[in-house]
Amino acid sequence: MKPSDNPPQPRVTRRRLLTAGAVIPIAGAAAARIVQPGEMPWTEGAADVPPPAVQPAGYTWLTPAEAAFVEAAVSRLIPADELGPGAKEAGVPVFIDRQLAGEYGRGSRWYMQGPWGEGEKTQGWQTRMTPAALYRAGIREVDEAVGKEGRAAAFAKLSADDQDRWLHQLEDGKVKLPTADAKTFFELLQQNTIEGFFSDPLYGGNRDMAGWKLIGFPGARYDHTSFVKKHGEKYPLPPVAILGRPDWNPPGGSHG
């Protein structure tokens, strides 16, 4: 594979992510419960025990080589710039690691049986690999292909321009990998990167609510009635995560 003299700029820009963030359901929405008729939906100072927050230290599923690949790739998909932190700084690799280590990575709630005919693009997931298996095979096979090209021993060791070139080739399906479908692998990586950048910090990504601050999303605030009729005005309050805000918790306590 021969790189062009002027590699194209990354296609996944912050502008595209802003559009994507408007339609991706935030993970915190799943925490809502059905309120019975006549029941107050919320009482000040009282709440159910929140779900356990992801501890950001270390990786639980990704190997060191896989973690290096994911950190490098998400840094190219959502790079840090003048608008704020990028995906790596926002904890997206930790989010992906924890997702792959759990039910999502195993596809435990998906239909994963045959027949295995070639599906249409509109049919969604059409591989017998689980997300975790696709990551494991995809990363290994991309690193092997990069090594054979001779520019670096692995994707994470390439220059930024060469990393962009490889991501473009994966996105376009121009790379033929032994077992993983390159285009499917790229689409999964891109989807998980966006999810990790905009999900509630409870799940390991969106550290310091960087993604929400970028698009002006208020997060899990309970009451917005004061702002319903204020059309065209900038929302003045900082975002709130499921576990609150750092300044709402005592030193050493958990926070969003």
Domain boundaries, the chain: 14-22+51-110+125-215
Cα–Cα distances in Å, from 173 out to 92, 166, 177, 183, 187? 24, 10, 10, 5, 10
CA distance 69 to 62: 10
Beta bridge partners of 43: 46
Residue numbers of the chain with a pLDDT score lower than 50: 1-4, 19, 22-35, 253-256
pLDDT of residue 127: 87
> pTM score > 0.85 for this model?
no
pLDDT of residue 234: 86
Beta bridge partners of 244: 241
pLDDT of residue 111: 86
Tell me the per-residue pLDDT of 139-179, one tens digit each, with 9 for 90 and over.
999 999 999 999 999 999 999 999 999 999 999 999 999 99
pLDDT of residue 251: 52
pLDDT of residue 31: 40
Answer whether 92's CB lies under 8 Å from 193's CB: yes
pLDDT of residue 157: 98
Query: Whose CA is closest to 157, among 65, 34, 35, 28?
Result: 65
Answer whether 92's CB lies under 8 Å from 197's CB: yes
